[in-house]
Structures are given as C-alpha cells and as structure tokens.
Structure 1
Amino acid sequence: MILQTPKAMYGRVVGSLLLALPSCWCWAQSLSGNLNALSAYQTAGKNWHTASAVSVRLSKPSLFELEKGEGILIADPGKSTENGLISLSSYGDIRLTFDFMTTAGAKATIYLNGIYPYILADNWGQVKSSDQSNGAIPGRAPRQLINRAPGLWQHLTLSFRAPRLDASGKVTEQAILLNATLDGVLIHENVQWPVNNGREPTKATGPIRIDPTSGSIAFRNIQALPLASGGNQERLENDVDPILVQATSNTTLRSFMDIPSQRVVHCLSAGSAEQVHYSYDLDNGYLFQVWRGGFLDATPMWHDRGDGSSSVLGSAVFLGKPLPALAKLDNETSPWPQDSAGSGFFNKGYIIDDQDRPQFKYRLHGQLVSDAIKALPDGTGLSRTISLAHPTEGWYVLLAKSAVISEQSKGIYLINGQEYYIKLGAENTEKAVIRDAPGGKELLIPIQSTIQYSLIF
C-alpha cells in the first residue's frame, strides 16, 4: 500500500524497513589484491591517476582538488580517448563494493564480467529516475534515486551471479543482479542483467571495466569478494503488505523514530516534492536526520496494533543524537548543554505555512524561538532559519557536531568526512567557530536575532 498525502498525519508505529539479504552468503578475502592501485589493471590511459585525498568546492563543483598519493583512483575522461580501465583479474560470482565521488555532471559505466553495465552519475537535485540515472542498468531505473552532492562519498554494493554456460559455450542461465545497495538503500533485487549492446557472454568470468564518459569520478575502498553457494539465496519472506508514505507535496508525519541507541518519542518528519526530507526532535528543537529519495515506511505504525514508529525509506544522513540546538553560554568556549534541564524549555508546537511546511516554536530561558526548515527549490538540500523574538547577546546555535569539521571556503564547512556541507547565508554577519568537543568537533555561531544556513547533501 502506498499513501500519497500533502496533509499532516498523526499515528502510531513503524519499525525499520527490512531489506532481506541472503543468509547463506559467505565472504572471503578479496579475489584480486589491491583494486585501488593502477597496477591491478591493464595499461591505463593518461586520464587515470591516483590521489591520497580528493574534494570538491561547492563554488567550483566541476573540478576535483587532489592531494598527491595512493589509495584513490581518479578518472578525468576529458584528457584522453583511452578512457576505460580494465582489471587484470577476471571474476565470476562476486560481491563488488566501493565508494565513489563525482564532480558536477559526471557519468561513468562500470561493467561486471566485462559486459554487464551499471551506471554511476551525478543526478544531484533531480527528482525522477530513469534507466540513465545514478544506479540504473539498461532498461531499468533504480527503485529510488539516491544521490549526494558533488564532493561527497557514496557507497555501492553489487551482488552478481555470473551467467552459466554449458560445455559448448551456450548460455544456459543469464546473469542476475542479486541486489544493488546504494548508501544503504536497496535499489535493485533479483534482476536479469542485460549485456551491453545485446552481446552474448562467451564465458562465465570476465574483468571489471570502468568507462567514464563525462566529468570526473573518484573510487576508493574497492573490493571484489567471492559469492558463496553459487549466488543462491535464502530469503526472509515478509507477508505484510508495506504501508509506504510518499511525499508528492509538502507532507508531515508524527511518530516515534529509532536512531542509534535511542528512540525519539516526539518526532516530526517533514517531506517535500523535491524529495528532500528531514526529522525533527520536538523535545530539543533539534534537526537530527535528513535524507532524499522515498519518504517513510509506516508499516510498524499502522499494521496490526503497531508500535508507534516509522522509518526512513531513502538514504539518511544522521546529524547526531538530539540535544538542544540553541544555548545561552557565557562565551564560545563554554561546554554545550547535553539536555534541556534548567533551561525552561517549553515546546509551543508548530504552525503550518501556506505551503504546508511546519515552522517550529519553543521557549528557552524565557526567549521565544522560531525555527523554519524548508527544501531548497533546486532540491540540493535544506534551508534553515532560526530567529529570536527578543534580540540579545550570549546566544549560540549548534550548526554541527561530528568527528571532523573543516572550513572549505568562507562560510562553507565540510562535515564528518565529506558527508554533508553547511553553508552560511550571505546575510549573516556573525562568524562561525569550530571548536574541540568530547568525541570530535562542534561548529557554533552566535545569534542575536536571526541565523540562516543551508545543509547541502
């Protein structure tokens, strides 16, 4: 069952989306040594090289910035007509995993067995998928369009069952894409995999081939692991008809939400037609996760008696355990409060604007706070505006907390090892501060009246 509704919905339940994975698969050592080195491939064209680190500036999204070294493969297809990279080793049934990063407009095709194509592409901000989208195979679009901004890493796992041939070389069973998981989301399952240009395989094994066609693309952590049991699956069957909530327009849903080591009991999730969504903890005024793709699985909420929870359908970026988003501090070195005790926090609910978007209201230390979050019109992320009813000094906003935070350029920050960006609004006059905190870093900014920033992912 799929629900499509623009109005607010309230209810109980929903556990996490269960992706049934084969229980009989066993993984061994990598089949091919170090696939992150050019030495694992046939002679590479001049457009291929390596780096120890790579990044993209939001102000120049079509260009990689590289640090010399090894460990990351880089393809710049514009520099040579010999674009392809072909592995020295051949493979049969494998589980291929890797991280990849694109520049704006980049596209490449990776071939398993040398002839079975899978598309990697920059579709940042796009809403509709096709058989040419990121994660597509010929004739079949991915179940969801899962993307990240240029300069952010994505993780892909492909489980491939090679074709079966008889002694004469005739194909008796076609190749199967058992599953493809992109950033934790199942986007293909049990798909007969068409070969490139309709060619028939002549043997059951073949190389991995990467053909970049536009832009630049980076690869790291490449592993080809053997698929045990001939790729046979033991699947967990679920006879429950899922209840999915899709956001075809601005949509809100109240539920419990399970996050690592915690259940958020007063959670509001908001979806948008731009397919950029978020979850907000009403007990702290904290934005704790964002995602794009499908909106929510409400099966645990509404099936049978339910348990009150919902779960994310798309690929979530977790922004941290909920804690107060604002605080009154003696100075910028004062420790950030871990809960709202002693602050007089009082949730005043939210209002719905003329486009069905929530605007949150709460009182903190006697100050009335307004918090408005909305999808950016181009679908590239979220815009957030926090305002104080009575301008004053000594107040700070916690923009981000993670293991690693770096300032990429003026007003633009890269968070948690290239997981998302924070971009301060041009009208902000205050300067953000990166400081040490237990477990990593915190990004704070003083607020006297209003702060606006964007979360780009």
Structure 2
Amino acid sequence: MIKRKTTTKRGVLLAGIVLMCSTGVSLAQTPAPQAAAIPLDNLSAFKNPGKSWQIAGGVTADLDDENELETVEGTGVLVNEPSRRKKGTDLVTNMEHGDVDLELDYMMAKGSNSGIYLQGRYEVQLEDSWGVKKPTSANNGAIYERWDESRPNGQKGFQGYAPRQNVSKAPGLWQNLKISFQAPRFDASGKKIENAKILRAVLNGVTIHENVELFGPTRGAMGDGEVPTGPLRLQGDHGAVAFRNIKVTNYGKPRPELVNLQYKVYKGRFEAEPRYDSIPPEAEGTSVALTSEISPFPNDFLVRYTGTLRVKEPGEYTFNLNAGGGGGMMKINNQVVIPIDARNQRGTVTLPAGDMPFELVYSKIVEWGRPSLGIAVVGPGIREYVIGDQPAGGNNSQGPILVDAPVNTILRSFMDLPVENEDGRSGVRVVHAVNVGSPEKVHYTYDMDKGNMIQVWRGEFLDATPMWYSRGDGSSRPVGAVQHFGQPSFALAKLASPQAAWVKDSAGTGYRPGGYDTDKMDQPTFNYKLYGTTVKDAIRVMEGGKGLHREVTVQNPVENLYARLAEGSTIEELSKDMYLVDGKSYYIKVDDAGAGKPVVRDANGQKELIVPVRGKLSYSIIF
C-alpha cells in the first residue's frame, strides 16, 4: 500500500487516504498528449519556400520603420521579409492536419499584415493592430471573411468574425496565439456532413473566439473545396512577420466513456468525505451523465457517482475536475487520481485499455459559487473534452459582473497576482490595489503598499464578480491581456551601492502612503513619503493607447536613491534610452532621467534596469 500525505484544510480532509496499487494503472507526472514542434533549424519542414523566407537566430522590429525586421544569424526563428527584390510567397508545411491544436509566437513589423491558414483554407488574420479600439474581421486575431464576386458591391465579403476584444501588442513584441481547430466532417461518399470550427482561439492569454462555425473557405484559400486534412499555410505576400515555437498537436483517437453511472445525494455541508454507511442518501438512482443538477438542493450537498470508465486507447490521461462552488475527489480503479484536498483539482494517470471502476465525489459548500460538475479529459491523440457540466466560467462563479471604462475609471479592490511569492509558491494577494481604467483600453493596477505599478493590460477593464457577488472576497480580475511585473516591490529604494540588492520590505524606508489626487480628467497622481522625502507618481495613458507614461517627482531626494524601471529574464538596449524587457514582452523608453544614467544590472538570475533619481524621472511603458 502507498499512503498519501494529506493536509488539514477547514477540517480534517480524508486524513490517511490509502491508494491501492492496481495492475496497469500508475500516477504519472506529465500531461498528455505531447505537442510536436515544427523544426526551425532550416526550411525543410516546408514545400518550396520562397526567397522572402529565412531562418534566423533572433529578430527585432523598429517602432518607426514600416514593414521592416532586423535579423541576427542563428536558428529557431522563421522570418518573412517580402520586398521588391524578394517577392513574398506563402509558406506551406509538408505536414497535413485534421483536428489540431496549434500554438505559436509571432512578431509583426510596423504596419504589417499576414495570416495563418488552417488546412490551407481558413485564415486567422495576423496584423499590426496596435491601439485599435474596435477590431473588425480584418484586424489581428480575426477570422477573415469569405468572398463571393457574384454578390453586390459592399457584400462580397461575408462571414468574417472580429476578435472579442483587441489585445494586440506593439510591433516588435512577441505575441502568443493558441488555436483549437476542428476539421470538417465527411461521410463515406465524401459529402460534407459537418462544418469546420474554431473551437477556441486565445491571443496573449485572452479568449478571442469560441465555437465559431466555418461554413466554407475564407478569402485567399488554396482551394474552394474542403478536405479532411490539409497543410498549414503562412501568408507571405503581404508583410514582414516572424514566427517561433510552432507546436502542433494532432487528434483523432477514441475518447474514454463513462457507463453504468449511479448516484447518491447527501444533504449537508461536507468539508471532508463522510462515512456513507452512517448517513442515508436524500436521493439516488441512475444517470446518463455527470451533472450537479442531479441534486434537489441548491447548496450544502454532496453527490457521489459510481460507475465504469471504458478506455479504448491506452496511455497517459489528464483529468481536470470542474467542481464549481465546492470541491471533489475522483478515483479510477480504486486509486485516488484527484484527492478532495487537491489545490488545483487535477490529476494525471497512465491507463490501460479496458473497463475500470470509477468514483466521483462532489461537495457543494460555497454559497456564492455556481454549482457545476464535470471533468475535462485529455489523452493520447484525444483533444480535451468535457464529461458533464461545462465549466461555469471565470472561477466557476456566478456572473460575470464586468466593469467597463468608457471614461477614466478608478476601482479599488484586492488583486491576486499569478506570480511566485517569497516562499516560492505561486500566488500573491495585493490588499491595497487601485485599478485605473481608460477609454483607450489601456489599464493598470497600483499597489498603495509599495508605491508602484504591479501590472498593466490592454483590452477590457475588470471582472468584479468575486468582489460584488453575494458576500464576495474583495478581489477583481483584469479582463484583457496582462503584463505582470513580478512580485510587488517598491519603485524607489536607497541603495548602498549600484550593485546592492533591491529593497524587499519597508523596514528602514519610513514608507507612508498618502493616497492620490485626481485631475480634471479623473486621472490619479499617487502620493507617499519615503526616506523622509515626498514622492508624487503620475501615470497617464499615452496618445493612441500605445502604453503608459510615468512621471515620478521626488522633493529633496536623499543620496543614493534609485528607481527600478524594469526587471525580467532579459533586458536589451535597442538604442539610446529604449529597452526591450523580458524576452521582448514590452518596451521601456526613458524620456527624462534628469542627471541619472540608466544601468542594466544582474540580480538574482534576472536583469534589472535601474536609474539614480535626483528630482524628476519620466519614462514610458510601451506594450
């Protein structure tokens, strides 16, 4: 027997759970399936590449140069630079796909335009759409329109789909795109019986499309007909663009099934699994599917499902439990795969083919949470799918309660950051956060306990559901594409030397927050005292929504006072006063450093950009 160590969480949770080892079933550490990377050490993965395409070791775009990319020698980056001398052509993979998940990074030059054609026929648009407020089907991340010359003028283009919001980054910054594509279905005679679909498209961490049906090839497709499989095609005749980390996951294997499901419902608030022989169920029976709706109670209940998991394809499977408004536990073949006290309700196992006993327990204990019960399953050659209720969305809560920013808007809340804390664990809560939104769709969060910005984002403003629904927990969440700045830290610090470690806490700083003042446009300037000096911190949205301009004014600054403008895995100096931060995630432009000179230094395996502060400092965060 193998004993799992358990922890106490609002009571004793299944202390001493015993995991029974069974033949052919073992706990695994890595999720499935594995994505295959398209090699970018040469162009052999593509058919007859044109002269505009090359392999490089790195690439950079200038914010002021139209349709231009600069490359450095090496491998790992696919670059297209069409020009009069090198006419651009589309690039087509040797590989063909049906159902597929595609993930890649791409970089646009200023004013550039490109696209990704799934199966060579359905285009997801790539474009420099930096700062566009109301995106259309021609902008970055859009599903491009279909085209019919026989239609009247103004109606030739149709069935194009704009992204839900524009979360595009500036030229020269790497953007991440994930697409889940379902190929069209055909019967034995070759007749199409189901349209292709974009199941989901996620740009820079934000879902921009979901369950979009594609009724036919988009404009510029490599053929009018539709096929079960086809190649990836990268548009190359429009503009300069670069790609890296192109990963493809193909699907098509049979899914596991749940059969012979039975359920029992128990009334009560169960924070630990009960002894079922000591309490009678309030309801019981058979069911054709997992669902929380089997319970006759809205709150404070437990459902126990038992049945058989039928696996046709052996291999490694990952199960992600959606236990909205509570928690759950899952066993396969009498082995605990997801313990009830698991923090992320996720487990991975290696399963043989065949029928195995299945058990699932769901306890609904969170009053404000929307009840839902389902399992997202992913396995060898199997796209993630859901058995049971669909996730309730956002933290499985009611809502969403969205806060827009049609004018400059300030909302105070707790803010949870998905960054590593000082103990090495993930997750930091900022309790004195001020969220500042703008009609330019550029927003930020300020930490009043540190006198510093902790994140910026582009897109829509806030989801206030966890703060405002029912009793709430006081927190809100950004809705757009977020750039985090690591652990909350002070913007200013007194250093014994330019090499001294950055200040971690307020000890010895005399830090005292002083709130904020707003101007006629409701834009805040933050005030605080530090080392006996008075600091004013004014942050404003740049013209055109290009980023944020920050002006820090220090009255009677102490000696050896520094500002930390950025930290990240890399900081590259592009030109005088312009820097690329954290693997080309955002720019820092030093507008006025006074008498100080910015310095890039090493610090705990990271890079930091610091500058001495004499009285006034102004710089811009461009993203």
Identify whether the pair has TM-score above 0.5, normalized to the shorter chain. Answer: yes
Tell me if structure 2 keeps the 8 A contact 1:105–1:214. Answer: no
Alignment match, 2:235 = 211
Instruction: Sort the Cα spacing of 1:214 and 1:82 in 2 relative to 1 into closer, same or farther, 3 A.
Output: closer
The equivalent position to 1:182 in structure 2, one of 186, 199, 203, is: 203
Whole-Å separation in 2 of the counterparts to 1:368 and 1:220: 46
Which structure 2 segments of 5+ residues have no match?
Answer: 1-30, 146-159, 256-381, 420-426
The equivalent position to 1:110 in structure 2, one of 105, 116, 137, is: 116
State whether structure 2 residue 261 is matched by structure 1 residue 256.
no
Q: Which amino acid aligns with 2:113?
A: K
Instruction: Sort the Cα spacing of 1:94 and 1:36 in 2 relative to 1 into closer, same or farther, 3 A.
Output: farther
Aligned length: 432
The equivalent position to 1:233 in structure 2, one of 381, 385, 396, is: 385
Whole-Å separation in 2 of the counterparts to 1:214 and 1:200: 21
Alignment match, 1:245 = 403
Q: Which amino acid aligns with 1:325?
A: A
State whether structure 2 residue 229 is matched by structure 1 residue 191.
no
Alignment match, 2:60 = 55
Alignment match, 1:363 = 529
> Shift in Å at residue 256 of structure 1?
0.6
The equivalent position to 2:582 in structure 1, one of 399, 411, 416, is: 416
Tell me if structure 1 keeps the 8 A contact 2:127–2:140. Answer: yes
| Highest RCO, 1 vs 2 (Cα 8 Å, sep ≥ 6) | 1
Whole-Å separation in 1 of the counterparts to 2:199 and 2:226: 21
Mapping 1:15-414, distance limit 5 Å: 26-30=32-36, 34=39, 37-60=42-65, 62-78=67-83, 79-137=85-143, 138=145, 139-194=160-215, 195-197=217-219, 201-227=225-251, 229=255, 233-234=385-386, 235-238=390-393, 240-259=398-417, 260=419, 261-391=427-557, 393-414=559-580
Instruction: Sort the Cα spacing of 1:54 and 1:327 in 2 relative to 1 into closer, same or farther, 3 A.
Output: same
> Shift in Å at residue 207 of structure 1?
0.7
Whole-Å separation in 2 of the counterparts to 1:148 and 1:428: 29
Whole-Å separation in 1 of the counterparts to 2:407 and 2:415: 22
Measured against aligned partners, the alpha-carbon deviations of 1:105-132 in whole angstroms (never above 9, x if no partner) come to 1111211111111101111122111111
User: Which is worse superposed, 401-410 or 283-292?
Assistant: 401-410
Tell me if structure 2 keeps the 8 A contact 1:28–1:226. Answer: no
Measured against aligned partners, the alpha-carbon deviations of 1:240-272 in whole angstroms (never above 9, x if no partner) come to 231011111111110111112210111001111
Tell me if structure 1 keeps the 8 A contact 2:580–2:588. Answer: yes
> Shift in Å at residue 426 of structure 1?
4.7
SS at match of 2:44: helix
Alignment match, 1:435 = 601
SS at match of 2:131: coil
Measured against aligned partners, the alpha-carbon deviations of 1:114-162 in whole angstroms (never above 9, x if no partner) come to 1111101111122111111100012110011011111110111100000
Whole-Å separation in 1 of the counterparts to 2:530 and 2:524: 19
Tell me if structure 1 keeps the 8 A contact 2:130–2:546. Answer: yes
Whole-Å separation in 1 of the counterparts to 2:477 and 2:596: 36
Tell me if structure 1 keeps the 8 A contact 2:98–2:230. Answer: yes
Instruction: Sort the Cα spacing of 1:231 and 1:404 in 2 relative to 1 into closer, same or farther, 3 A.
Output: closer
Tell me if structure 2 keeps the 8 A contact 1:252–1:268. Answer: yes
> Shift in Å at residue 69 of structure 1?
2.1
> Shift in Å at residue 427 of structure 1?
6.8
Identity of aligned residues (%): 43
Whole-Å separation in 2 of the counterparts to 1:341 and 1:224: 50
Whole-Å separation in 2 of the counterparts to 1:359 and 1:288: 16
Whole-Å separation in 2 of the counterparts to 1:404 and 1:231: 35
Larger Rg: 2
Which structure 1 segments of 5+ residues have no match?
Answer: 1-24
> Shift in Å at residue 77 of structure 1?
2.6
User: Which is worse superposed, 225-234 or 324-333?
Assistant: 225-234
